[in-house]
């Protein structure tokens, strides 16, 4: 679980740097993803 949160934070950071603020829907989808899915 902690690994998924860490991956979600990193993905959120990278997407925000590239595209700006994420919509609440996209942020929720990232937060609900498992670590393997987020890395893919």
User: pLDDT tens-digit profile of 9-32?
Assistant: 999 999 999 999 999 999 999 999
Return the pLDDT at 8: 92
pTM for the full model? 0.82
- Per-position DSSP letters for the chain, written without gaps between them: -HHHHHHHHHHHHHHHHHH-SPPHHHHHHHHHS-HHHHH-
């Amino acid at each position: 679980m902690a690994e998924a949160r860490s991956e979600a934070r990193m993905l959120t950071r990278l997407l925000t740097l590239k595209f700006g603020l994420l919509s609440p829907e996209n942020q929720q989808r990232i937060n609900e993803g498992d670590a393997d899915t987020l890395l893919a």
